[in-house]
C-alpha cells in the first residue's frame, strides 16, 4: 500500500527586528559613528544609517538593488505639506524576470533623503545614491552593521543570524502587521505571493487579531524615533516651501 508522505516545504521564518530592536541597533551605529577614529570610517557609518532607513522603510533588497540606486531613481508627488516618495529599482536578481519596479516609500524616509541632499549639494541624476563624499561606494557597510549588531547584542535571533538583509525581512513583517495585503506587498518587494506565504505565514494570524479575537486593543502606531529631527518639529509652511524647492531642483537638474 502506498504511504502518503507528510513531508513538505518547511516554512522557515526570516530573522527580523522588532521596532525596539531596530532602534537599539540604530543607536549602536550612531555610537560607532560618534566614536570613529578615522574620517572615512565615520563617513561609512554615517552612510550606513541612511542605508538602514531606506532598507527598512522601502523593502528594497540590500546589495545590488540598493547599491544600484541613483538620484534620478527618486521621484516625488507633493500636495501642500504632504509628499510621497517613489523609487525606481532597475538592478537586482529579479529584474530580468520582473522588469523595473516602482517602490512606494514609507514617510519615515524623509529625514534620510533630506540629509543625503545636504551631504551632496552637487548631485546629478546619474550619481549613485549610496556613496561616500568622494563619490566612491564602499563594501564596508556589512562589516560595520555586524559590529553594531554585536554591540547591541542582536546578532543572533530565534530565527537565525541577523544581517543587513534582515532589514528587508523587517519591512515585510512590519507591513504585514500593519494590514498591507500579501498581493500588494509581493509587487512592492519584487517577490512572489508564495514566497511571502511560505516565510511569513506566522505573521498572518496577527494581521487579523481583532477579527479572530473579537477584541480591539487600539494599538498605537509604532514608529521608530527620527534620528535627524527629533525634538525640532518642522511646521507645515516650512515643509511646503521645502517641497517647492525640491520640485524646482528636479526640474533644473533632473533629480530632487
Q: 3-state SS of the chain?
A: CCCCCCCCCCCCCCCCCCHHHHHHHHHHHHHHHHCCCCHHHHHHHHHHHHHHHHHHHHCCCCCHHHHCCEHHHEEEEEECCEEEEEEEECCCCCHHHHCCEEEECCHHHHHHHHHHHHHCCCCCCCCECCCCCCCCCCCCHHHHHHHHHHHCCCCEECCEECCCCHHHHHHHHHHHHCCCCHHHHHHHHCCCHHHHHHHHHHHHHHHCHHHHHCCCCCCCCCCCCCCCCCCCCCCHHHHHHHHHHHHHHHHHHCCC
Full-model pTM: 0.84
| C-alpha grid cell, residue 221 | 502606531
Q: List domains and CATH numbers for the chain.
A: 19-213 (1.10.443.10)
Distance between CA 164 and CA 170 in Å, rounded? 10
Which residues on adjacent β-strands are paired with residue 157?
160
pLDDT reported for residue 204: 64
Q: What is the pLDDT along the chain (256 residues), one digit of tens a residue?
A: 434 333 444 456 789 999 999 999 999 999 999 999 999 999 999 999 999 999 999 999 999 999 999 999 999 998 767 889 999 999 876 666 667 899 999 999 999 999 999 999 999 999 999 999 999 999 999 999 999 999 999 999 988 999 999 999 999 999 999 889 999 999 999 999 999 999 887 776 655 555 444 555 454 444 444 444 444 455 678 888 888 888 888 889 999 9
Going 137 to 51 to 91 to 79, the CA torsion angle's sign is: negative
Q: How many CA atoms lie within 13 A of 182 on its CB side?
A: 15
**Count of residues for the chain?**
256
pLDDT reported for residue 53: 97
| C-alpha grid cell, residue 3 | 504511504
pLDDT reported for residue 145: 98
Distance between CA 34 and CA 22 in Å, rounded? 18
pLDDT reported for residue 216: 54
Amino acid at each position: 500500500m502506498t504511504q502518503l508522505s507528510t513531508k513538505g516545504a518547511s516554512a522557515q521564518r526570516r530573522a527580523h527586528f522588532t521596532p525596539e530592536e531596530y532602534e537599539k541597533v540604530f543607536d549602536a551605529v550612531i555610537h560607532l559613528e560618534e566614536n570613529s577614529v578615522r574620517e572615512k570610517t565615520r563617513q561609512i557609518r554615517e552612510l550606513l544609517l541612511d542605508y538602514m532607513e531606506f532598507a527598512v522603510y522601502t523593502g528594497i533588497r540590500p546589495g545590488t538593488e540598493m547599491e544600484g540606486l541613483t538620484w534620478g531613481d527618486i521621484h516625488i508627488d507633493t500636495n501642500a505639506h504632504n509628499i510621497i516618495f517613489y523609487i525606481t529599482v532597475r538592478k537586482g536578481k529579479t529584474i530580468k524576470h520582473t522588469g523595473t519596479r516602482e517602490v512606494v516609500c514609507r514617510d519615515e524616509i524623509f529625514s534620510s533623503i533630506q540629509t543625503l541632499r545636504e551631504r551632496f549639494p552637487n548631485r546629478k541624476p546619474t550619481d549613485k545614491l549610496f556613496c561616500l563624499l568622494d563619490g566612491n561606494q564602499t563594501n564596508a557597510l556589512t562589516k560595520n552593521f555586524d559590529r553594531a549588531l554585536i554591540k547591541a547584542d542582536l546578532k543572533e535571533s530565534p530565527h537565525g543570524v541577523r544581517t543587513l538583509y534582515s532589514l528587508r525581512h523587517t519591512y515585510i513583517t512590519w507591513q504585514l502587521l500593519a494590514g498591507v495585503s500579501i498581493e500588494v506587498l509581493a509587487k512592492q518587494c519584487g517577490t512572489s505571493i508564495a514566497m511571502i506565504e511560505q516565510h511569513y505565514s506566522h505573521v498572518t494570524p496577527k494581521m487579523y487579531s481583532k477579527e479572530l479575537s473579537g477584541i480591539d486593543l487600539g494599538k498605537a502606531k509604532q514608529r521608530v524615533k527620527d534620528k535627524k529631527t527629533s525634538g525640532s518639529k518642522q511646521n507645515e509652511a516650512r515643509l511646503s516651501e521645502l517641497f517647492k524647492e525640491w520640485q524646482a531642483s528636479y526640474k533644473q537638474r533632473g533629480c530632487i
